[in-house]
Structure 1
Amino acid sequence: MRRLIVLALIGLAAQLVDGSLGMAYGVTSTSLLLLFGISPAIASASVHMAEVVTTAASGISHIRFGNTDKQVVYKLIIPGSIGAFIGAFFLGSIPGDIIKPYVSIFLLILGIYVIYRFMFFKFHPSEQQSKKIMGKKHYVPLGFIAGFFDSVGGGGWGPITTPVLLTSSQMEPRKVIGSVDTSEFVIAISATLGFLLTLGWEQIHLQWVGALMIGGIIAAPIAAWLVKIIPANLLGTLVGGIIIITNIRTLLGSFNASQTIYIFTYLVLSFLWIAAVIHVILKMRKMS
């Protein structure tokens, strides 16, 4: 029972972050399940099954708060679903840890750029800007790659699609986050189907899935409300920090870094991230 309560709290915290910053539910939840000794495939399958419900709740909340761009959602779900389904099969034969470090390097670069963009440039959303988005041909590889790595790594849809859309379009950060979270519902379904075909129902921990679902459902409307009221520059800086912090762990793990290096790296990055957030807040106050 204690473990189920902990999982529900983790699901709540993960969805609160995911719904307000567009990422981290899968990464957070999968990391916890791996700590419990579950294999990567079963951990990813359990998280994606929980995400079928949590992403539905999150998507509905974002739609009600006006945080989504329907055209972006439609362009992402088809290639993303295909990638997620193939990734679920792929995970059964090749460890996701082999691929993760390369994705993390790419995400770290994007995270640094996102922070730079929102720290030093004031975002002026307009109706014309919000429609100036990437061409259709760019959404196909983005959706496929993000869906594939989401299944393989137990989380990746948000960390890949959110920074790319933030750096490659003129969409408001809240609409980027809302669109990514809404489209993730279909991605979770596709990944779950792929895992069920390869693993079967008997290997899925349904109680753990249920605990993660409950926490996520509670947090979904709160997160959708937060993303609507947080200023764009501050939200972008928070997103950039999450991208960096989330992926540096994968890189350090791939190099078998010591605990001392882990602590030092996190302290330095946390200090710089807090400084960036304070800089944005002070800048916004001067302009108000």
Structure 2
Amino acid sequence: MDPDFWLFLAVGFAAQLVDGALGMAYGVISTSVLLSFGVTPANASASVHAAKVFTGAASGLSHILYRNVDWKLLALLAGGGVVGGVGGTYVLTSVPGEAVKPYVVAWLFLMGLIILYRAWRQARPKVFSWKSPFPLGLVGGFFDAIGGGGWGPVVTSSLMGAGADPRKAIGTTNTAEVFVAAATAGAFLVSLLTGHWETEGLDGLLWSLAGLIVGGVIAAPLAGWMTKVLPTRALTWIVGLLVVSLAAWQAWMLF
């Protein structure tokens, strides 16, 4: 068996454990590792979204079982995310995705600071009243496709910054992600088959993809349980610190 399988099994396990528990970072972690191996951005994004179809399904089922999902919010986020993901796929296979990354980084940093402020003030979760979850999903899906990750950081951090219950924000965002990942992976496939996207090297990523899937599926049940049992304030602090750290890291890579 290819050594890449075991390496990416470990990467997939760690990434899904973080993503399933905190609502973000599977795509960012997995894509960053693939890019460090010299994989092109489009190939990395296509591979990660294919893996997220399976890991997202396992994660979503776990969150449903632990009752971490708001069904109305799920439908609106997933609908917007599907449209945004397909649009982002078309852009990524047409123009460099680096052009939009500075705006994503700035948004993440702002949301992270807001979440940390709420944790510091010990603000209690309130009934979420975001009036436009469909556009939020649209933006999250677009940036997710462009960067190979970004759905969780954009959507989860925005929900929590607006005062949503951390468990519901994380569980709903994770469950919606499987629909976004399926649509994005399908869009990459259509782009490849129609000749809009010409790429090489995807066949060499099969063992890496298998490792990401297996590791993520193993970690998903544990991550859902962690979201259920972690104290709300601790969860808020952890998510805020993670968002700010991811934004700082991305800014360092960009500038």
* Shorter-chain TM-score above 0.5: yes
> Does the Cα contact within 8 Å between 2:80 and 2:134 map onto a contact in 1?
yes
1:248 counterpart = 2:248: yes
Match 1:144 to one of 114, 138, 153: 138
Match of 1:231 in 2: 231
Measure how far apart 1:2 and its partner are.
2.1
Measure how far apart 1:99 and its partner are.
1.1
The higher radius of gyration belongs to: 1
Match of 1:192 in 2: 185
Extract unaligned runs of 5+ from structure 1.
Answer: 256-288
Measure how far apart 1:51 and its partner are.
0.2
Match of 2:92 in 1: 91
Q: Structure 2 CA distance, aligned partners of 1:119 and 1:176?
A: 19
Measure how far apart 1:209 and its partner are.
1.3
SS of residue in 2 equivalent to 1:38: coil
Note the alpha carbon deviations across 1:100-158, whole angstroms, 9 max, x for none. 111101110110110110122242x5xxx43x4212xx112211111011000000100
Q: Structure 2 CA distance, aligned partners of 1:140 and 1:69?
A: 14
SS of residue in 2 equivalent to 1:160: helix
Normalising by structure 2, what TM-score?
0.93
Match of 1:173 in 2: 166
* Paired residues for 1:78-157 under 5 Å: 78-123=79-124, 129-130=126-127, 132-135=128-131, 138-157=132-151
Aligned residues: 247
Q: Structure 2 CA distance, aligned partners of 1:13 and 1:19?
A: 10
Extract unaligned runs of 5+ from structure 2.
Answer: 194-198
Q: Structure 2 CA distance, aligned partners of 1:120 and 1:146?
A: 27
Measure how far apart 1:199 and its partner are.
2.8
Q: Structure 2 CA distance, aligned partners of 1:40 and 1:155?
A: 11
> Does the Cα contact within 8 Å between 2:4 and 2:207 map onto a contact in 1?
no
1:220 counterpart = 2:220: yes
Measure how far apart 1:210 and its partner are.
1.1
What amino acid does structure 2 have at the position aligned with 1:219? A
Note the alpha carbon deviations across 1:66-110, whole angstroms, 9 max, x for none. 111111101111111011011111101221222111110111011
Measure how far apart 1:207 and its partner are.
2.1
Q: Percent identity?
A: 42
SS of residue in 1 equivalent to 2:251: helix
Q: Structure 2 CA distance, aligned partners of 1:199 and 1:98?
A: 23
Q: Structure 2 CA distance, aligned partners of 1:105 and 1:243?
A: 11
Normalising by structure 1, what TM-score?
0.83
Match of 2:154 in 1: 160
Measure how far apart 1:251 and its partner are.
1.1
